[in-house]
């Protein structure tokens, strides 16, 4: 979760540690007038339109948090001349898979900063870590990112917010990392990062319960990832609504019987993706209006 005031990582809480400390001092409040968190010296956010109309999409207040902005400035000052620093870069923007897999789900993750040379070749990935990176789920995510970077031969520079912004230290670490020889470590053969296509659910048998493996074949094909907001909405609807009724369970069985073949035959066709994207976009929008969440979702294991 992002802090409601500054946008920094705040774990499960609406305020980060810094803003929570300001709240204790009375410098940050949940405003009775607008109902939102902000500084006592800050104006309330702009009200909605006169008609009260709400919009599905809104631009974020800032691309990076206040703390990340401070590190950004130090990184730009610490790189050699003609080197560049880019914030919030997706792994898929600078790393390619070398096989012919259709799905690249493991690359749909962002790093905080990427340092490139004057030809924009990636040189160093940078992550700004706060205390939330010590949590189990974040550690698992960080390990996957590190494995991908190590296999690609790109070094990762981790900077911790708890130590503050030290420009000289950052400059030194960048210089040392750029001078170090390229080291690649293979992870994919030992421990595949993620399945490239969702597994078919195991057929029901009359024995002991089996683990459920559920994929969203058409939605994954349309949106390009099994882990994206639209697919998270659809997976929640599948597990929490459809699976709760007899008719819904029948639909799920029929879907998994037909959709894998449809995707194999027509998944690369533009008409197939265009047709189903219109249908799924409408369905996702309707589910969002009904309150179905689009945050990260993990399939239940039965």
For tokens 């905080």, the residue is 112
Q: Which residue has the higher pLDDT, 120 or 58?
A: 120
Q: Which residues contact 238 (CB under 8 A, 6 or more apart)?
A: 214, 216, 252
Residue 270 has pLDDT above 90, yes or no: no
pTM (two decimals): 0.50
Q: Which residues contact 78 (CB under 8 A, 6 or more apart)?
A: 167, 170, 171, 174
Provide the token pair at 126. Answer: 């940078």
d(CA 145, CA 139): 10
Band (pLDDT 50/70/90 cuts) for residue 202 is: very low
Count the Cβ atoms, other than its own, within 10 Å of residue 252: 16
Residue 91 has pLDDT above 90, yes or no: yes
Average pLDDT over residues 117-128: 95
Q: Which domains does the chain have, with CATH numbers?
A: 1-51 (no CATH), 66-179 (3.40.1350.10), 217-289 (no CATH)
pLDDT tens string 21-73: 888 888 888 887 777 888 888 877 665 555 566 778 888 888 888 889 999 99
pLDDT tens string 92-105: 999 998 887 777 78
% of the chain beyond a pLDDT of 90: 33
Rounded to the nearest integer, the mean pLDDT of the chain is 82
pLDDT at 177: 94
229 burial level (CB within 10 Å; 0-12, 13-18, 19+): middle
Distances in Å between the Cα of 301 and the Cα atoms of 201, 209, 210, 212, 286 are 11, 11, 9, 6, 27
d(CA 170, CA 151): 24
Q: Which residue has the higher pLDDT, 91 or 38?
A: 91
Highest mean predicted confidence (pLDDT) among 126-135, 172-181, 212-221: 172-181
Phi, psi of 125 (to 5 degrees): -90, 140
d(CA 167, CA 206): 64
CB-based burial, 258-284: b 16+ in 10 Å, e otherwise: ebbeebeebbeeeebbeebbeebeeeb
pLDDT tens string 208-258: 333 344 557 888 888 777 777 888 899 899 989 998 999 989 998 898 888
């Amino acid at each position: 979760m992002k802090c409601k005031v500054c946008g920094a990582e705040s774990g499960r809480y609406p305020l980060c540690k810094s803003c929570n400390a300001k709240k204790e001092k009375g410098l940050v409040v949940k405003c009775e007038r607008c109902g939102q968190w902000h500084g006592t010296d800050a104006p309330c956010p702009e009200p909605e339109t006169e008609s009260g109309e709400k919009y599905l999409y809104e631009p974020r207040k800032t691309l990076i948090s206040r703390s990340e902005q401070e590190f950004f400035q130090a990184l730009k000052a610490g790189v050699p001349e003609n080197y560049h620093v880019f914030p919030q870069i997706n792994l898929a923007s600078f790393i390619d898979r070398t096989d012919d897999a259709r799905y690249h789900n493991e690359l749909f993750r962002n790093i905080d900063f990427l340092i490139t040379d004057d030809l924009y070749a990636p040189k160093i990935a940078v992550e700004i870590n706060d205390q939330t990176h010590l949590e189990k789920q974040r550690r698992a995510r960080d390990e996957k990112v590190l494995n991908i970077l190590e296999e690609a031969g790109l070094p990762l520079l981790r900077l911790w917010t708890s130590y503050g912004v030290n420009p000289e230290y950052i400059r030194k670490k960048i210089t040392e990392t750029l001078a170090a020889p390229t080291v690649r470590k293979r992870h994919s053969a030992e421990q595949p990062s993620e399945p490239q296509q969702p597994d078919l659910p195991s057929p029901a048998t009359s024995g002991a319960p089996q683990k459920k493996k559920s994929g969203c074949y058409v939605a994954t094909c349309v949106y390009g990832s099994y882990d994206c907001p639209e697919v998270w909405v659809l997976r929640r609807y599948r597990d929490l609504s459809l699976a709760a009724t007899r008719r819904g369970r029948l639909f799920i069985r029929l879907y998994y019987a037909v959709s894998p073949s449809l995707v194999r035959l027509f998944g690369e066709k533009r008409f197939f993706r265009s047709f189903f994207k219109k249908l799924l976009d409408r369905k996702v929008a309707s589910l969002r209006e009904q309150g179905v969440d689009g945050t990260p979702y993990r399939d239940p294991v039965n």
